[in-house]
Structure 1
Amino acid sequence: MTSSATAGAGLTAADFEKFREYFYKRTGIQFSESKRYFVDKRIDTCIRQGGFAGFASWFAALRLSDRPDLLQELINQLTVNETYFLREDYQFDSLIKTVLPDVLSMRGGPNRMVGPVKILSLPCSTGEEPYSIALRLLEEWDQIDHIDVEIHGADIDSDVLARAGHASYGDRSLQRVPPAWRQKYFTSVGAGRYQLDEGVRGAVTLHQVNVTDTASMRPFKDFDVIFCRNVLIYFDELSSRRAAENLYGALRPGGYLFLGHSESMSRISPIFTPTRLPEGIVYQRPSGANR
């Protein structure tokens, strides 16, 4: 056994280290040695699809040429997008029962609102999460006819954003959608696929962004609620802290941040205030914080 032993697509240990360092600098995502097989297979796909002779020529083009498409294809191959409608639904319960009433109170009440309530889902993957938020509000929030709401979805992966825009889903994605909602908001388009109603699709604005990239996150501001679930677990300490700071900057003072059930902001940064709600923990930007 030697250090140049290959795995999967044929990357050497040195190749893997060079790739891992580059990808971390560009995305904040760090792959451990245990992910070698996963990484090798997807890099091999990028090499073949790009028509390159091997890793060396592909990696040189990735780093040195004016080919942003190569990096985007790599990101699309390596980001995990496992999701379905109404996942971790207890947090949407918190949104409707506790968080939104508090947001309205902080904003001066429904009759004194300046600007819409703004909600961000990041990463939004193929759209199930922001569309779930829209459906829950349409069906269950008693203020939806009186309050202007903006829902935004964002992801680093251009492929999943395109699929989110089309909003066509199979039975697995829809497994938790009540039958009445499926009949009301989805239309069969054949081959076991169902497309979401155009009106709901139009209620969600999609963006491409890297949560660890401060420059690309800077336009995101004045959000009342952010869902950033099950992504910080892929970052190391430095990238997680940078993402936390960017999320903090995207929230209004007093705004709420939902993380995944296995994530804890207290292990990442002290800038958020943990708040216990009946349905679980949520994090707030302190209401007196300077912008």
Structure 2
Amino acid sequence: MAVALSDEEFRMWAEWLGEELGHRWGPERREILRTRLEPRRAALGLESFDALLFHLRFHPEREAERARLVPHLTNNESYFFRERGSLDVIRDEVLPELEERLGPGGQARLLSAACAAGEEAYTLSILAREAGRFTAPGALRVTGVDVDPAALERARAGTYTEHAFRGTDAAWRARFFDARDDGGWEVKPAVRAPVRFSDANLVQDGWWRAVGPQHLVLCRNVMIYFDEDAVLRAARGLWEALAPGGYLFLGHAESLRHVPVPFELHRRPGALFYRRPLEAA
């Protein structure tokens, strides 16, 4: 039988989720939080949500339990070629500028932060192929990072249903994906080759060290779920993740306007983006 989430339990969970994941859980989302926590509470046979939090923080298997719980608390909704205005700028302006600046033999390093099931990371690989940029072996490295291990497993599998292609047409899909017997679609080897996935929590210090300096970061529709402190922590981490002159694209509903990190804001028709200035500037 389902149990209630008390005022004190909600406060403790909201604080912990803010610290660990940067999530903002206002009182209006209390019942949503309860329904997302309930399956793990029931599966573990615990009597309260307080007991579930204690288990998550102090049990010897807390890391494994955390991995099981995170998918219930995060939104992993994405699809291929989402927010085309930004992607057009990347294809027509950013990739050519990087190719000229990095020169022959240079490697473009592109990052999908909070990559969910990998649609955005593979989109970046496809975008470079469509543009004819960084085509030499080893010239492109795309990394996807996410806090959800289940999402990363799906990303590494590289198989998708029709729902993931709602922003594309059938001819485009056939160019970059192979049809499967089960009705799904699998990323072609050439698209998959430059793409890697790893775990990272964007509100935790130092996550960027594992991926190295990036020339382009997409972090879209993530910080809308963060509280103010988490937005600041994430913005500082994204700054550290970018090489000098690197580009940062957020979602249409996201802004760093009031965040004290010295990004340069650039506007284009249908898109805006940030840059970490070149050190020479």
- TM-score, reference length from structure 1: 0.89
Which structure 2 residues correspond to residues 1-291 of structure 1 after superposition, within 5 A? 9-66=3-60, 67-107=62-102, 110-111=103-104, 113-114=105-106, 116-138=107-129, 140-146=130-136, 148-288=139-279
Compute the displacement of 1:218 (Å): 2.7
The Cα of 1:247 is off from its aligned counterpart by: 0.5
3-state SS of paired residue (1:91): helix
Q: How far did residue 122 of structure 1 move? A: 0.8
1:262/1:279 CA distance change after superposition, 3 Å: same
Distance 1:146 1:203, change over 3 A: closer
Give the alignment's Cα RMSD to 1 decimal.
Answer: 2.0
| 2:217/2:242 contact within 8 Å kept | yes
Q: Is the 8 A contact 1:9 1:43 kept in 2?
A: no
Shift of residue 72 of structure 1? 2.1
Give deviations 1:213-240, integer Å, cap 9, x for gaps.
1132332332000000011111122111
**Shift in Å, 1:278:** 4.2
Cα distance 1:191–1:54, how it changes in 2: closer, same or farther (>3 A)?
farther
Quote the Cα distance in structure 1 between the aligned partners of 2:46 and 2:121.
38
CA distance in structure 2 between the aligned counterparts of 1:197 and 1:287, rounded to whole angstroms: 35
TM-superposed CA distance for 1:172, in Å, is: 1.4
1:150 counterpart SS class:
strand
* Higher mean displacement: 72-81 or 53-62: 53-62
Say which SS state the counterpart of residue 265 (structure 1) adopts: coil
- Asked if 2 retains the 8 angstrom alpha-carbon contact of 1:134 and 1:151, the reply is yes
Residues in 2 aligned to 1:250 and 1:170: alpha-carbon distance in whole angstroms: 32
Structure 2: distance between partners of 1:154 and 1:202: 16
Q: Distance in 1 between matches of 2:183 and 2:26?
A: 37
Preserved CA contact (<8 Å) 1:210 1:217: no
SS where residue 78 of structure 2 aligns?
A: coil
- Secondary structure (helix, strand or coil) at the match of 1:173 reads helix
Cα separation, 2, equivalents of 1:14 and 1:224: 44
How far apart are residue 82 of structure 1 and its match? 1.2
CA distance in 2 between partners of 1:121 and 1:61 (Å): 32
CA contact (8 A) 2:18 2:227 kept: no
Q: Which runs of 5+ in 1 are unaligned?
A: 1-7
- TM superposition shift of 1:104: 2.9
For residues 121-147 of structure 1, give each alpha carbon's deviation from its aligned partner in whole angstroms, at most 9, with x where no partner exists: 011101111111111221x21333248
One-letter code of the match for 2:193? G
Q: CA deviation at 1:284?
A: 0.3
Q: How much does 1:92 deviate?
A: 1.3
Q: List 4+ stretches of structure 1 deviating above 6 A.
A: none
In 2: Cα distance, 1:9 partner to 1:232 partner: 31
